Each structure stands twice: as C-alpha cells, then as structure tokens.
Amino acid sequence: MTDANGTIDTSRLALLASPTDRAREAASALADCMDWVPLDEASAVVVLGGDGYLLDVLHQMLDEEKVRPVYGLNLGTVGFLMNRHRGCEGLARRVAKAKPMQVCPLRMTAIDQDGIAHHSCAINEVSLLRETRQTAKIEISVNDKVRIPELAGDGVLLATPVGSTAYNLSAHGPILPLDSHMLALTPISPFRPRRWRGAILPDRSRVTFRIREPAKRPVMVVADQKEFRDVAEVHVEIARDKEMTLLFDPGHALDERIVAEQFVV
C-alpha cells in the first residue's frame, strides 16, 4: 500500500462515493481525473461523502479484512473526519502529502439474555441504551474490578478518541486528543450516581457492562451503527490488530481538529 518511506502510491487509488446526489455528482466530475483502480488493487481509497459514509467504508473494509488508508473529501454535513473537497486539480498530490493518522477500533462482545454472543467493532463508540421507559441499571467493571455497582439512567458509552467528538460530546463527555491513548467512559442522562460524570481510561483497559434486571429493564447495545437488543453483558476493549489509517491534509489533521473543537463557544 505504501513504499519504504510510507508514501502512498497515488497511481493506485480507488474512488468510493456515498449515494447522495452531491457525492455522485462529484464522483462523476472526478471520474476522468486519474486512472482509478478497483478497491482490491488500491493502495489507498478516496471517499466522497460525510463522516457516516466514511465510517461505513471503514467497517466494510474491516469486515472484508481489506483495510486501506482512507482519504475523505467532505460532501456531507459535519465532515469531522474528512478533508475539504477542492475538485480534481492537485488531488493526487494532496493524497501523497497527506498526514497519516493511525486509529484502532473497539472490539465488542455482547451476550444477550439467551446466552448468545454477538461480536462487532466500533470506530466511534459502543453505547448501551435503555429500550423502554424503564431506567437502565448497569454495573460497570474496568479490568475485572467493579467501579460502578449500579449506574441508573438512560445508558452509558465508551468512546475512542476518534469518536470523542461524536455522541460522546453530545453526552457531555470529554474530547480526547488522537494520540492520548485514552478512552472516554461517559454516562447518558445519569440519575444515580448523581454526581458521576464519567471517566477517562487508558486504552489498554477492558470494560465490562452487566445489566441489572435485564428482563424488567431491557438494554440494547450499539457498536457505531450495528445494534443488538436485550443484552445481559457487554465486554469492550481496543482491537489493536484492526489498526486503520486516516489521511489528512497538513494543517487539517484530526488531532488539530480535536484541539480546536474544545475552544468552540
């Protein structure tokens, strides 16, 4: 995918576009920009769309075990994980000069009330959410030590640095620099413990969530977009064997965006 110096081979780029009209129009305009190759032959992937579509592409590559460096061009709404779309001119040069950022997803194992195990990865976060009007009650353990015997509220989430500015931020969780090697453990509308606002954990931590009274107070777990209902227990840790590379224009890298986001008023 890269040469000995870590440089992307821009003669072998794949192009993927979200199904929106705006992204498809941009893909048509870029079709003759260079000789695009199929994903299987690509050294890197140029993605047209928004953050959600980029996450879809990363998950697809994870599932197929064909992970390639990804250079996103924003044709969505927020575009936190994307670069500015500037058309065809200089695109290959921008990809070649892009700053690589290595990120690892979370690996989740969820055991439902029937004892069946479900597995998934999450690039942003793993979130546990109550399914009914009944408050969720969740025991939280870190490295096999119980830290919160009973969290009562709407739920709880565990976010990576990449995901710390997504749902985690909306739930008043901390923003994590990309190189912090930390995870954000954030309650969602907590009722008890009333003063607990969450925790920042080393990314080597293993976090276990056990549902109290699961039949009466059913809880679902969501790993990015993948949902599993009626869970009894959830285990989460970093999947270091699934490392991915995001490419950013110099001066617009994700770590700088994470810092800048903390000064938005």
Q: Which residues are annotated as a binding site?
A: 51-52, 124-125, 154, 162, 165-170
Q: Which of 169, 141, 150 is nearest to 264 (CA)?
A: 169
257 backbone dihedrals φ, ψ, rounded to 5°: -65, -40
SS3 state of residue 55: helix
For residue 51, indicate whether it is catalytic.
yes
Report the alpha-carbon distance of residue 233 to residue 131 in Å, rounded.
15
Q: Which of 164, 201, 159 is nearest to 182 (CA)?
A: 201
> Identity (one letter) of the amino acid at 52?
G
Task: Write the CB contacts of 23 (distance below 8 Å, at least 6 apart in sequence).
Answer: 17, 48, 49, 53, 75, 76
Tell how strand 70-74 and strand 44-49 pair up: parallel
Q: Which residues are annotated as a binding site for NAD(+)?
A: 51-52, 124-125, 154, 162, 165-170
CA distances from 84 to 37, 48, 102, 121, 165 (A): 22, 10, 20, 27, 19
Residue of 3, 9, 35, 51 marked active site = 51
Residues classed as catalytic: 51
